[in-house]
């Protein structure tokens, strides 16, 4: 369950579970599936088509940029 907390006049969301984190981070099911497979077999990243790798990189960059805000 996600909780809301006030911190320096900013509302923050805190994930209470793995599913909450995935939802709050904006990770779609396609990226979630890739990350699960990648964590078991990292070599799949280099064997996928260049366009697909770029798509995954863009999704991950977008999510990581949210953490910097």
Q: For residues 31 and 22, is the Cβ–Cβ distance under 8 A? A: no
Q: What integer pLDDT is reported at residue 48 of this predicted model?
A: 92
Average pLDDT over residues 21-42: 83
Q: Could you tell me the pTM of the whole model?
A: 0.56
Show me where the domains of the chain are located. Answer: 3-67
Q: How far apart are the C-alpha atoms of 4 and 50, rounded to whole Å? A: 39
Q: What integer pLDDT is reported at residue 69 of this predicted model?
A: 62
């Amino acid at each position: 369950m996600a909780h809301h907390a006030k911190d320096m006049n900013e509302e923050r969301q805190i994930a209470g579970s793995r599913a909450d984190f995935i939802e709050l981070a904006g990770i779609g099911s396609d990226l979630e599936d890739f990350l699960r497979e990648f964590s078991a077999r990292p070599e799949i990243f280099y064997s996928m088509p260049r366009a697909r790798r770029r798509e995954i990189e863009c999704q991950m960059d977008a999510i990581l940029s949210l953490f910097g805000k």
